[in-house]
Amino acid sequence: MALQIGDVVPDFTADSTEGPISFHEWLGDKWGVLFSHPKDFTPVCTTELGEVARLKPEFEKRNVKVIGLSVDPADSHKRWAEDIKETQGHALNFPVIADADRKVSNLYGMIHPNASETFTVRSVFVIGPDKKSEADTHLPCQHRAKFCGDIESHRFVTADRRFQRRYPGELEAWRGCNHCPGCLRRGCKEKVSGRV
Q: Which residues are catalytic?
A: 45
Eight-class DSSP state of 36: E
Handedness of CA 162, 164, 165, 170 (dihedral sign): positive
List all residues 6 or more positions away from 140 whose beta carbon is below 8 Å from its beta carbon: 115, 121, 122
Name which of 108, 26, 103 is nearest 67 in CA terms: 26
Name which of 19, 173, 182, 3 is nearest 95 in CA terms: 19
Please give the C-alpha separations between residue 138 and each of 19, 73, 111, 151, in angstroms, as whole numbers.
27, 22, 10, 16
DSSP 115-130: T-SSSPPEEEEEE-TT
Name the helix (H) or strand (E) containing 78. helix 74-88
